Chains A and B, each alone.
Chain A
């Protein structure tokens, strides 16, 4: 009877029953327990253990204690099955194994047979081996959960080490105690078996706590993340509004990234505009170069900083070059685990514990890299920080892209304002009326493209009986071009009236006055001629403009006059030539700029000199003023709706007598 009572009281399964009951009650109060739905699993576990214990005790009471151990085995096997079910719930995966089931079934039958045969020692050995096999399998499966295939499974990852070690130790110990009585000795029953249950209890509670903590941590983090990102976005917006300065924006970005990630330092590298290298643009805090540096450089902090700031990183080389070349973020959680960081994993001046790099992109093109580093071995960046820095990088890219677009727009606006002023200056440059003389009749036309012209023409009475015509095309537009026009006009007007002045001399002087005074890209092509009414002598000089077109009425044919010479404003010592001819009654001369013959229609064809000649030949008897209108009409008909992007200017002069 004492045996029976002992069996009943020292039944190890009671301990499990109470432990699990306590666990169940505890977990009922944890809010998450419902969501995690382990409650019903525990009820099952509890039922199995409860009826197992009754059976165990009943067998003891009935005096067939040998069969108690097959019962223990069955209980342990079913419990292991329930644990696998819980595991499956967490990871959405099936962990039941047909082999395990078969092993347990065979094991059960063998243990029943052994119990019947009363071979105690082998019997205990067999029992223990099977229990270890069951729990070994469970722990192995826990160990296999190596991926976060569900968020909850991460809890298992954290718990698996403890589970594996403790379960194996306890059952291993029981196994070692088998020769001394195994399950029959009080130490096993009183301490080890309850302890093994406590392991599950502790681990499961731990899961719940972790899961809860993780969820609230993530919520906090998200909130913090949102806050810091909101702050980042508003402040970067303000930084732009205050001053349109890309450098300042970059400084701000690296500052915010370091602050948010709680990093020791950060830097921004920009891809060089014309070389395939990256250069350090902004550095915040303590950010050592994440690559090997010469030993000499390491000695002084100053040297290191200078070296870092002055050494370009070729694209594709070092971890920064790699990030820029691939356009993908790089996360080095622990520098000791990454072969790329081997130079930075020693505790010296360039030690980096953890590093995050994210590319800055314009479309698909990488224009820079944002980097942050931690230099404390106990502070490694997490995946959350990585995603935050990625967001920072993306937003920075976006901001800088729009900033560039905005700056270009501003530049264009400036240019347009400039053009407006220039148009006003020009309005006062062109002759307001043409000289009225009886020997020749004149007409002039000038139409700027986009409101302001680079073309200029002038007709000046230089002395009695002599007239000067000039057409010029200044490179570029706006105020600088207008100033060049002013200079050309002023010099021409000043010197043209001097005695013995020839047109090539005028060009020499104009060029001498302008070359070196204005920017080289403001050169001008100038065609200039003078005509004497009495002698009918025409003198022509050309500074790289279109040749002079002459319609000879008598021959009904065209003739061109040209002289050598580069544009005005390039070289001071340029000398221009002059060519002379005599005009007869009815002869018509045409000075024009390239906007006329290059006027383009929608098909991309040019108006051409030939078309101009056809109109002139067909209507040479008309007055120049009428002819001008005919030419304009013909050109307009030709170009149709096509928008012209060059100024159009021509001057016509016909000899009347």
Chain B
């Protein structure tokens, strides 16, 4: 898994590339925690290039999502597809996560909040 960060106005977009599994999901978690320490307030997690996620990956997303919710900051997860989408649907978390279609939609969603 490879993480890249870019910025759109005040929103930081994290592009996740590769599989999110037991051996690397913690890195996404750590990255977001570090960004929170540095007072980043708006996040988008772009899952466009994630084709596989296991329960640890979902766990990392839940952790991130809940932490950001608690701090009253903004998050959107976008471009979930294929098996990742299936796993999130199966675990009945579609409503739990702030999901948006594309990165642009995610930016609008955050702006609208």
Contact = CB atoms under 8 A, between A and B. Distances in A.
Query: Do A and B make up one complex?
Result: yes
Q: Is the interface of A mostly helix, strand, loop or mixed?
A: loop
A475 B56 contact: yes
Contacts of B35: 274
Nearest to B21: A645
A454 B21 contact: no
Contact of B92 (A273, A415, A544): A544
A348 interface: no
B23 A520 contact: no
A520 B62 CA distance: 6
Nearest to A546: B90
B1 interface: no
Nearest to A474: B55
A566 interface: yes
A489 to B, nearest CB: 18
The majority secondary structure among interface residues of chain B is: helix
Contacts of A476: 22, 25, 55-56, 59
Contact of A274 (B5, B25, B83, B93): B5
Given A566-B93, A567-B92, A523 B23 contact: no
Contacts of B92: 544, 564-567
Given A473-B55, A475-B56, A521 B29 contact: yes
Interface string A574-616: 0000000000000000000010001000000000000000000
Nearest to B12: A274
Contact of B59 (A521, A546, A566, A645): A521
Interface in B12-71: 12, 14, 21-23, 25, 29, 31, 34-35, 38, 40, 54-56, 58-60, 62-63, 66-67
B66 A520 contact: yes
B63 A521 contact: yes
B54 A544 contact: no
B91 interface: yes
Nearest to B56: A476
Nearest to B52: A645
Interface in A521-535: 521-523, 525
Interface in B58-113: 58-60, 62-63, 66-67, 83, 87, 90-93, 96
B30 to A, nearest CB: 10
A475 B23 contact: no
Contacts of A645: 21, 54
A520 B63 contact: yes
A447 to B, nearest CB: 16
A275 interface: yes
Contacts of A544: 90-93
Contacts of B54: 475, 645-646
A412 interface: yes
Contact of A523 (B25, B31, B62, B67): B62
B96 A570 contact: yes
Contacts of A565: 92
B2 to A, nearest CB: 12
A160 B55 CA distance: 76
A546 B89 CA distance: 11
Q: Which 7 A-B pairs have the closest CB atoms?
A: A521-B59, A475-B59, A475-B55, A274-B5, A521-B63, A544-B91, A476-B56
24 contacts: A273-B5, A273-B31, A273-B34, A274-B5, A274-B34, A274-B40, A276-B7, A474-B55, A475-B56, A475-B59, A476-B25, A476-B55, A476-B56, A477-B22, A520-B63, A521-B25, A521-B59, A521-B63, A523-B58, A523-B59, A544-B92, A566-B91, A566-B93, A594-B87
Given A523-B55, A567-B92, 8 more contacts: A274-B12, A275-B5, A275-B7, A475-B58, A476-B25, A520-B63, A544-B91, A544-B93
